[in-house]
Amino acid sequence: MPALIPSSICVYVGLDLVGDGLMKLPFLRALRAAWPDARVTWLAGKGRTVFAHDLAPLAQGLIDEVVEDAGIGSHWLELLRRPLAGRRFDLVIDTQRRVLTSLIVKRIAHGVFVSGAAGFMLSDRRPPVVGAKPRSMVRQMLTLIETAAGAPARPEAPLRLDAASMDAARRLLPDRPAYIGLAPGAGGRHKCWPLNRFIDLAQRIAKSGRVPVFILGPGEEEWSDLCRTVPGARLVLQDAAAQGIAVTPMLTIAVARRFAAAVANDSGAGHMLAAADIPLVSLFGPTQPEKFAPMTKRLTVLRAQDFGGAAMDAIPLEAVERALNRIAAI
């Protein structure tokens, strides 16, 4: 298979919410690492994309153009016309697997079309072995890059953060002995390791001379008072808001870059911590790490099932502490 060196790339998605965008950051970083000089167009065919809004700063250097609400990929009548008429791309990557949508996206003028729909039957290039699709959503997307490039996908392109977020993070967490991040929340409380164990872990971190830093989202303000009972603990996002600093995903990632390591549930916060490229302990129970685990170079996954249970409270405090100390190497 000849090497593919596209100068223009179109990536089709249906739409992107914040959680979707955070999970797709490794794909974007791998795409840019594979083709650093290509012009990348992010095409949201069925709605909005956070890469044009909330996460636009994170897309700097990774995406060159965003097209949203394009009205592409829903109705069979679209097969009778050419989407994005007048435009052509060297490479079109279809990140979804609905066959009708893939047939429509393939109508975009292109040199090479890559899609996992129907076991890559619609794709101009296929993986060396076509079998069951990877369970990980991130891994499925990386397979598309590998199929197009004929080489392993490496999510190594730098994630750029705006100067204001980096400066704010330095003010909030000045240089000092190691900070350890703790993200006790999640989209559903059934995905949360018990808060009292996060508190116990924070107390042990503080006794070791390190600084526990809690990452609490908007729906977790009720935990603030309890978290502040830990000696020396910081609630960095609440501190930021009190100082009039805008709390954004970019600020959270910038703050996380100040951590020596972190612990998080299966959550959006966990994916933001992973995007900071720090050592991370990721806790799972009712959800599947094979499908939802964040992608970072130094990841330790602890599953409730490995300790004889299905609920998050099956994960022992001692196991999390050991894993944290091991990856933090402090």
Domain ranges of the chain: 8-149, 163-328
* DSSP code string of 95-132: ----HHHHHHHTTSEEEEEEE-GGGGTT-SS--SS--S
Residue 177 is predicted with a pLDDT of 77
- CATH topology identical between 8-149 and 163-328: yes
Residue 214's DSSP bridge partners are 182, 235
What is the arithmetic mean of pLDDT over 114-124?
Answer: 96
What is the arithmetic mean of pLDDT over 207-231?
Answer: 93
d(CA 230, CA 212): 8
CATH (residue range 163-328): 3.40.50.2000
What is the arithmetic mean of pLDDT over 302-330?
Answer: 94
pTM: predicted TM-score of the whole model, two decimal places: 0.90
| pLDDT tier at 236, thresholds 50, 70, 90 | very high
What is the arithmetic mean of pLDDT over 241-269?
Answer: 96
Nearest-CA neighbor of 189 among 310, 312, 304? 312
CATH (residue range 8-149): 3.40.50.2000
Exposed e or buried b per residue across 276-295, where buried means at least 16 C-beta atoms within 10 angstroms of its C-beta = bbbbbbbbbbebebeebbbb
Residue 85 is predicted with a pLDDT of 87
- Per-residue pLDDT tens over the stretch 57-95: 999 999 999 999 999 999 999 999 999 988 999 999 999
Q: How many CB atoms lie within 10 A of CB 159?
A: 21
What share of the chain has pLDDT > 90, as a percent?
Answer: 88
